[in-house]
Amino acid sequence: MGLIPGRDVIRPALLFLGSSVVIWIIARLVTRNIVRSATFTTVFLAVLFSFNFSYNLGKSVIPWERSDFGVFWLLVSLAVATLSAWKKSSEPSPAYLNIFAGALGIMTLFSLASNALNSTSSKEPQDNLVARHRKVSFKPDVFYIIADGYGRSDQLKSKIGIDNSDFINGLRSRGFFVANANHSNYCQTELSICSSLNMNYLEEVLQNIPDKDLSRETLSNLIADNKVAQNFKSFGYKYIAITSGFPALRFSSADRWLQAHREINLLEETLIAQSPVNLSSDILRNSVEAKRYNLASAFRNLDEVAVQSSSPRFIFVHLLAPHPAFVYNSDGTFRVSEASGTLYDGSDYMEHGGTPESYRIGYAEQLKWLNKELLRTVDVIRKENNEAIIVLQGDHGSKVGLNQNSLTKTDIDECFSNLFAIKSPVKLPDIQKDSTTPVNIFRIIQSELFDLRMPLLRDRSYYSTWNDPFVYNDVTNQLSSSKDLANFGDVARKNR
């Protein structure tokens, strides 16, 4: 427990004691019996705080969402506690109840210990893309910042109607290389991020998984436990993830997963993790307010980790912007418009109250706000951590011309033309090419930092419909700037 200062124990201890007293008083008023109310309180809290252990134990059998299981477990806690109190008289506590409470305590302690061990150990490397330990003298922090749906400047100008040159020039004046003709490998967030964080195309990443087992949950798991992070951890890096409300991104394997910003300490966060309470829950907020809150929290969390630490860190950041919902105007004031309360994009956005015009206006306004926040954040990182590598990337482009279920009706030039910018104190000549795609970014960075010599893959782009995400249509040669794409390596592509 050396990670937790003594002062950090006081507040959670007082809160736990206070909440226990409140629960006991309520139970006392209901049962009109001191012993029964004490039994209810003890059993309720014991069961409640065994939530995390039970969830991890049972999710392989029943694939619950954590929030759904949380509601279920709260009801279980109430039911078990009520049953125990109902059967309880004023006699001494029976042996079965003591054994039950002790077992739950052991389970909770086991869960806490497991979390602590998981946060300080790396998984065993799985294949030749995962690095072996070797001495490395220079270990800069690496920030991988994904701005969801951030398109390339030429496409933004022609399809959205916004001149983004001020932002691009602002990045270049701060030492960034910004590509002019690059593309994303996929045009859906989960597909794109899963591919880039595992440094390979999805056909290869998923090749050992039977077709019947493929799902978007598979992608979420591979994103959470990705090869880029495994490599960094094998060289002594800490793995930090910052998210802003996209449900598919869950980084339980990270050393720190920062969601909604909150003023709590490590012990409080660890204790709450054992209960059904979800600190990032949007139940008390509507979807528009939730997105504003989550984006603002992500930037505050990013400011918090900008300061260089004693250990090198790989920091993954996902910003759910400029992607819909469009909740910010360019000046930072709140925005509400057609379909503004949804995560729908492309044709789905149009089918849920949006129009091409409202998309263009909302996207442009939110992009201008985002640009100011990104440049401010970059300045904070440069001031506090000037030797850090900063990768700023869109997972795909804007989608006013995307049809979620028809390639022939999709403007692939718009959807696959993404932002890519990088600032690095290390010379990375292979990455400073207009044709670089996300699948190769960390092959280049980690090969240079750790002398891994990972071969570069051919830069390809694949369209998938929303309903069939694992059917890949190669659109590389249909892209308007495909003639500029570099062809590295000799990796055969195959469709499932």
Q: Smallest Cα–Cα separation from 330: which of 320, 321, 342, 317?
A: 321
User: Is 196 in the same domain as 95?
Assistant: no
User: Is 155 in the same domain as 115?
Assistant: no
User: Is 105 in the same domain as 161?
Assistant: no
List, for residues 326-366, the tens digit of each pLDDT value. 999 999 999 876 565 578 899 999 988 889 999 999 999 99
Task: List the structure tokens of 15.
Answer: 């809160």
Residue 134 lies in a domain: no
Q: What is the pLDDT of residue 166?
A: 98
Task: List the structure tokens of 337.
Answer: 């418009």
Q: How far apart are CA 100 and CA 107, in angstroms?
A: 11
Structural domain of 369: 142-484
Residue 127 lies in a domain: no
If you average pLDDT over residues 197-210, what whole number do you get? 93
Residue 490 lies in a domain: no
| Alpha helices in 134-201, H assignment, sequence order | 153-155, 165-173, 189-198
Task: List the structure tokens of 45.
Answer: 């809290």
List, for residues 85-144, the tens digit of each pLDDT value. 776 554 544 555 555 555 555 555 554 454 444 433 333 333 455 555 455 678 999 999
Q: How far apart are CA 135 and CA 354, in angstroms?
A: 54
Q: How far apart are CA 178 and CA 201, in angstroms?
A: 23
**CATH number of the domain to which 388 belongs:** 3.40.720.10
User: Is 153 in the same domain as 48?
Assistant: no
User: Is 369 in the same domain as 223?
Assistant: yes
Does 477 or 272 have the greater pLDDT score?
477
Compute the mean pLDDT over every residue in the chain, rounded to the nearest whole number: 82
User: Is 195 in the same domain as 243?
Assistant: yes
User: Is 110 in the same domain as 207?
Assistant: no
Q: What is the pLDDT of residue 99?
A: 55
Residue 130 lies in a domain: no
Residue 135 lies in a domain: no
Query: Pairing relation of β-strands 142-147 and 313-319?
Result: parallel
Q: Which of the listed residues 120, 155, 186 is the one where a domain comes to its end?
A: 120
Residue 493 lies in a domain: no
**Is residue 297 left, alpha or beta, with left meaning phi > 0 and alpha meaning psi from -120 to 50?**
alpha
List, for residues 109-125, the tens digit of each pLDDT value. 554 454 444 433 333 33
If you average pLDDT over residues 164-190, what whole number do you get? 97
User: Is 154 in the same domain as 114?
Assistant: no
Residue 328 lies in a domain: yes
User: Is 309 in the same domain as 342?
Assistant: yes
How many structural domains compose the chain?
2
User: Is 150 in the same domain as 112?
Assistant: no
User: Is 102 in the same domain as 149?
Assistant: no
Pick the range with the lowest mean pLDDT from 146-160, 183-197, 262-276, 312-326.
262-276
User: Phi and psi (nearest 5°) for 317?
Assistant: -130, 130
CB 226 within 8 A of CB 197: yes
Residue 69 lies in a domain: yes
User: Is 354 in the same domain as 409?
Assistant: yes
Q: What is the pLDDT of residue 284?
A: 39
